[in-house]
Structure 1
């Protein structure tokens, strides 16, 4: 990746709906080479797609819960089983395999406490191989940065 690719990525992170013409102007290229670079960045998996950022509260899901999960065993099979199960849970916004005393950290959204309780009882607690879970509720978001730093 060169400097122009980095400028393209920075501009797209600020405005994913920018036209190719405006993007080309912003990075100092003509539209056709700019479009080719964007297509290459997509093919290479650097640009993984374009989405709209939706206000979680406005959508009726104001509660964010961080859940630490400890598995009974840390075998590849146990991790794969857990991963397959939670990929089907649309309330799970993020899930990370971690180092340390807990195995997994996930962020779940819910409409309210009753909604979160239903998610736990009907979905997460039915996943085999979980030893323990600890939940923490986010009071507010202090940093919610959509763009990665361009280095």
Structure 2
């Protein structure tokens, strides 16, 4: 996982071009950014090695896989047990993201489920982990916007264009996952 800013304006321009056409070849990205093919390939390799580019699975619509429910669980935990708690999450396959937090709660867990009973089972497994003291759940209905253009635009040319990718009502209804609308 990258720490700090490791993406310069050229990297940001390349990433922005890639968001416009996710299946673009190196040659197409070179044309879109006016960079050489070797530069594009070297930059993409560097970004992948540094953890800037996430795995392909992040682009898959979880609703299409049969997981229409997205729930965020905010948990309070025993701090000295944080590492074993995080390791225990590996045994809960529907807990797809786990983030440490500052504030009232300590850990944010992103859970997907097929239905209420499926979620209830995953939540029970999380609450059974030694050191998890309390949990609050938040059901996501629907995802309204996914913002990525603004930070990329700011890096490309130093100003914020306020780019929000708005979801249509149909996309928002089915997009209870990480799908970019």
- What residue ranges of structure 1 are gaps of 5+ in the alignment? none
Superposed CA offset, 1:2-56 (max 9, x none): 4322211211233332101100001102322321222223233333444462222
Say if 1:35 and 1:107 are closer, same or farther in 2 by CA, change over 3 A.
same
Matching residue of 1:87? 90
1:99 has 2:102 as partner: yes
For the pair 1:24 / 2:33, whether they are aligned, the reply is no
CA deviation after TM superposition for structure 1 residue 146, in Å: 5.9
Equivalent of residue 33 in structure 1, options 5, 30, 39: 39
Q: RMSD of the TM alignment (CA)?
A: 2.1
TM-score after normalising by structure 2: 0.71
Residues matched between the structures, number: 147
CA distance in 2, matches of 1:147, 1:86: 31
- Where structure 2 has 5 or more consecutive residues not aligned to the other structure, the ranges are 1-6, 156-181
Q: What SS does structure 2 have at the residue aligned with 1:149? A: helix
SS of the residue aligned with 2:73? strand
Q: Which has the larger radius of gyration?
A: 1
Measured in 2, the distance between the counterparts of 1:50 and 1:115 equals 25
Return the TM-score normalized by structure 1. 0.83
Moved segments of 4+, more than 6 Å: none
Q: Which has the higher helix share?
A: 2
